[in-house]
Structure 1
Amino acid sequence: MPTSNQAVRAVITTLRVLETVAELQPAGVSAIARSTDIPKSSVQRCLVTLREAGWLTSSPTDRTQWVLTGRALSVGIHASVELGLREAALSTMQELRDETHETIHLSSYSNDHDLVVVDRLDSDEPVRTWVRLGSKVPMHASCSGRAILAQLPDAEVDRLLSGTLERFSDSTPADRDAVAEDLRSVRELGYATNDCAWRPGVGAVGAALLDPHGRPVGALAISVPVQRYDAERARSLGPLVAGAARRISAGLPRT
């Protein structure tokens, strides 16, 4: 029988593997072992344990790679619709990634007004964008955030934009009037754009995901390195992300 210290170490090792998958996903055994300095055999045992517990599963596109389940993402990211959101979005995200060859991000908008990245499908290009799953996304500075703001009542927008808005770059809309002006364009186009307003070197287009009641519950975004992003590319990608968001929204469960 393992001692109490051995049992504690085993739990800590398993949690380290879970945290590493959350950071790197999709991740294979070798990548996890390199990142954690845990032997591959131990990593494999932890992965099997976490799969049996419902925290991890194999990637739908590569069975040797591991990703978080909705159960894992629901811990620490308090969004009631998250599992249904990811399930409804996955196939459309894959189609959009394959069509654009760019990274696709799915963000969840929760009742406590946090916008959090909950899923990501990486570009197959050698130069690509990357953001950690679980990252909190600024509402005013991101295309996902502004796509959601455009779907909210004015009073809620005012609450979300109260106080000082952080400036991430010269192109960040850092006051209420600048954001409001942009939201008019977002409502007209059906999608928001972002030219390095949040993350330097990254352009993006995004559209809101709406539940059956018309309430925004998240956003879908195409994220592009500036080497492949300009106004013309944004105009070509915008309708694609807007159409994909409509298809996902149509599949969201009624709560």
Structure 2
Amino acid sequence: MPTRLPTENSGTETAGRVADVLLLFVDGDQYLGVTAISRALGLSKAVVYRILQSLVSRELLATDPGVSGYRLGPAAVALGASALRRYDARVAAAPVLRRLCEETGETTTLSGLVGNERVYLQQFESPREIKMTVDIGRRFPLHAGSSGKVILACLPEDRRDAVLAGELPALTDRTITSHDELREQLAQIAREGVAVSLGERQSGAGSVAAPLFGPDGEIHGAISICGPEYRFTPDLIERYRTLIRDAAKEIQQHWGWLRKS
């Protein structure tokens, strides 16, 4: 019987599985074993083991003596560092977010759109003793929190509908889980160009965010001012809405210049 050559579809499927395995390490435990990965992805242990061995051979994953499971390896760390260095938005956003942090006394953040989720890419922490900080690199859904909602409101209609067609889990008791209510709020956010969240993603946290569009005109992420909810009074929220809008415009202008240079 002649040997069957791998088809384009089979190669794509294999690449997808490898990517899925790596992505489990973004939000999961530091160490993951064959069984846990197999259950999470619905793959056989034999398939998972082959993928893990391939990733270890390329130093994308690694093992430690006396520890059960696999962790991200030096090559994965190098890739992540390279991606962050090359992400022009971080370069453009840094001086603006630093100044905004000093001006407001609150933490300022940059989030990036990754698939149908977002991740924090950068933060400048409030100098105050009581403050809000975020987990850089952690993924969050788009329906909860000001940064997520302002990104979701600015997505192309088909992508926005795909997100809204899915489940909207409650992250706190204030998370909007009604599709109709969320659609109504997103329409308002799209009109105003600013989103506000009071305890929707994290209890006790307040934030105001604006969308960040790249030189290609597409939504790439968001910037935010965030801190303890009790400090986000109506008057300050109105002030922050203006500040965050102006900051986003400044970053976009600088980002466009960076891309052309």
Q: Identify the TM-score tier after normalising by the shorter chain.
A: 0.5 to 0.7
**C-alpha separation between the residues in 2 aligned to 1:168 and 1:89?**
28
Q: Distance in 2 between matches of 1:77 and 1:192?
A: 31
2:80 is equivalent to residue 75 of structure 1? yes
Per the alignment, residue 152 of structure 2 pairs with 149
Unaligned ranges ≥5, structure 2: 1-75
The root-mean-square deviation of aligned C-alpha atoms, in Å, is: 2.4
Which residue matches 2:24?
none
Larger Cα-atom Rg: 2
Letter in 1 for 2:104: T
Task: Kindly provide the amino acid, as one letter, of the partner of residue 75 in structure 1.
Answer: G
1:113-128 aligned at under 5 Å gives the runs 113-128=116-131
Q: Which amino acid aligns with 1:87?
A: V
- 1:113 Cα shift? 2.6
DSSP 3-state at the match of 2:171: coil
1:96 to 88, 95, 100: 100
CA contact (8 A) 1:105 1:120 kept: yes
Aligned to 1:49: none
Matched AA of 1:224: G
Question: Aligned letter for 1:97?
Answer: C
Deviation sequence 1:134-188 (CA, Å, 0-9, x none): 1212200011111112212221101122221111222211122121111122122
Partner of 1:222: 225
Tell me which of 210, 213, 232 is aligned to 2:213.
210
Shift of 1:252: 1.8
Matched, 1:140 2:148: no
Q: Any gaps of 5 or more consecutive residues in structure 1?
A: 1-70
Give deviations 1:65-98, integer Å, cap 9, x for gaps. Answer: xxxxxx968529978x962111010000111101
Q: Equivalent residue for 2:111?
A: 107
Instruction: Return the alpha-carbon distance in structure 2 between the equivalents of residues 72 and 100 of structure 1.
Output: 33
2:106, 2:88 → 1: CA distance? 24
Residues paired across the two proteins, number? 183
CA displacement at 1:127 relative to structure 2: 0.6
Equivalent residue runs for 1:1-255 within 5 Å: 75=80, 83-110=87-114, 112-253=115-256, 254=259
Kindly provide the amino acid, as one letter, of the partner of residue 217 in structure 1: H
Distance 2:108 2:189 in 1: 19
Per the normalisation by structure 2, the TM-score is 0.65
Question: Structure 1-normalised TM-score?
Answer: 0.66
CA distance in 2, matches of 1:226, 1:130: 13
Residues 117, 134 of structure 1: 8 Å contact kept = yes
SS at match of 1:173: coil
SS of structure 1 residue aligned to 2:127: coil
Relative to structure 1, the CA distance from residue 163 to residue 171 in structure 2 (aligned partners, 3 Å threshold; closer, same or farther) is same
The structure where helix makes up a greater share of residues is 2
- Give distance in 1, aligned partners of 2:243 and 2:159: 28
* Whole-angstrom distance in 2 between the partners of 1:74 and 1:183: 34
